[in-house]
Structures are given as structure tokens and as C-alpha cells.
Amino acid sequence: MEWVRGKEIGRGSFATIYAAKPKNPSSQLPPLMAVKSAETYCSASVETEKRILDQIGSCPQIIRCFGDDRTVEDGEKFYNLMLEYATGGTLADELKRNGGRLAEADVRRHTNSVLKGLGFVHAKGFVHCDLKLQNVLVFDNGVAKIADFGLAKKAGETEQKAEVRGTPLYMAPESVNDNEYESSADCWALGCLVAEMASGKPVWDHSPGANIFKLLIRIGGDELPQIPEDLCEEGKDFLGKCFVKDPKSAGRLRCF
């Protein structure tokens, strides 16, 4: 599997994403793809992503994986994961292109895509654990696809240690209080994502660099996230289901 690394198009905590193309145009690889590369000493989450994508299988609302390999570049060892190239970037990019928030029709369309993708992930017995605007990719046909499965886990799998999964602004109360990450936590994160698409603001009023522990106390307490006032009644009802505090309540899982 030979390919040529292009320009950097994204960067995460442990990996950098590049545009790439195959050396042989007649290969089974697409003419343009995204390659997520991490130095091997910190590539565990990227390797987890490959393993989970293989187990989940194909779904139109989930990023496609074309394979992986290892390279040595300038004396450094890298693990590389070949993925679909999203021409529209992330949902966060789409919000920026549209003045900071999306029209309700676009919110509805992307929500339906993410719901289908999450439903498929959960049916396969996995939990994403890090659903957010930056982890949903947008393609030129308007389809949104869930990406970045590096923190995903098997449903029902007990955490061996107190390990934070995900992004605090999207974390569910049970994840904060009890280190619990199951499908209901993805439903809560979906609500945060939908509200942010509609309003252009996170559901929690939290400035970058502010005390993260104060935010976690609010999430784990009795306070509920802010639901955009100008959202239609159907949208408010949907978010009300996502933001049920009790993860075992049928209310939250009814968002599907």
C-alpha cells in the first residue's frame, strides 16, 4: 500500500491528519484520502480506532477506513491510518462557514445522519465516547459522518481505572460522577452537539481556559444544559429527552 503524504489538514492530541494520494492511481485506494499519523510510542488511540472501525463495519454515516501501515520518516516511526477525505471538513468548520450557527433544516439533516450512525454503532455493541462537532465530518454530497473512534469502547465493558473519556463540554453526568460511559452518554453528547449547531454556542457557559473542575461540578449536579429558546418545539422536545439526568431512564434513550 504505497501513498504520498500531502499537506497537513488537522491536528489532535496524539495524531496529525494529512491529505494523501496513492502512488499508483489504479490502486484500490481513492484518489484523495486523509491519513491520520501518530508516532508509534503514542499511537494506541489511532490503533484502537482501526480495530473498532473494522469490527463496526460499513455504514453510510460512519467514516470509511481503507487500511493502515507503518512508516519510518526522518528516523521517526509512525503508525498511519487511511480514511475517507471529507471535503467539507468538520461540523465545527461548517458552523464557521455559516456565520456561527446552522439553519434549522441543516441541523435536522445532520442530526438525522448522526442518529443513524450512532444507532449503527450501538447496535454493533460499541459506544463512541467522544461525540462532538469536531468529530463529525461533512462531505460534498451533504452527508455527515461520525469519525474519530480512538476513545470508543465496547458497551458494558467495565473501566479498569478512573479514565476520562471524551470532551468535558459534551460529557454526561454519569460519566463525570461515576466514570460510566455507555450508549446513554452518547445520547447526552448528541444533545450537546445539536444544541450547538442550532445556537452556535456550547450548552454550558464555559470560557476556554476557565476552571474545568467547576464545569464538571455543574455537569454532575442538578443543573441542566441550556436549550436554545428559538428552536422549534420538536427540537426542544428532542433535546429534553437527550438531557434527562438519569442515564437509566427510558427518556434519554428515546432520542433514538
- Per the annotation, where are the binding residues for ATP? 36
Cell numbers of 159, please? 473501566
- Quick check: is 178 catalytic? no
Contact (Cβ atoms closer than 8 angstroms) between residue 121 and residue 128: yes
The DSSP code sequence of 131-167 is: -SGGGEEE-TTS-EEE---TT-EETTPPPSS----S-
Alpha-carbon separation of residue 196 from 88, 122, 206 (angstroms): 18, 23, 13
Q: Under DSSP, is residue 85 helix (H, G, I), strand (E, B) or coil?
A: coil
Contact (Cβ atoms closer than 8 angstroms) between residue 55 and residue 126: yes
Catalytic residue of the set 68, 69, 106, 130: 130
Cell numbers of 162, please? 478512573
Binding residues, by number, are: 36
Cα–Cα distance measured from residue 46 to residue 151, given in angstroms and rounded to the nearest whole number:
9
For residues 100-121, one letter each, b for 16 or more C-beta atoms within 10 angstroms of the residue's C-beta and e for the rest, the string is ebbeeebbbebbebbbbbbebb
Catalytic residue numbers? 130
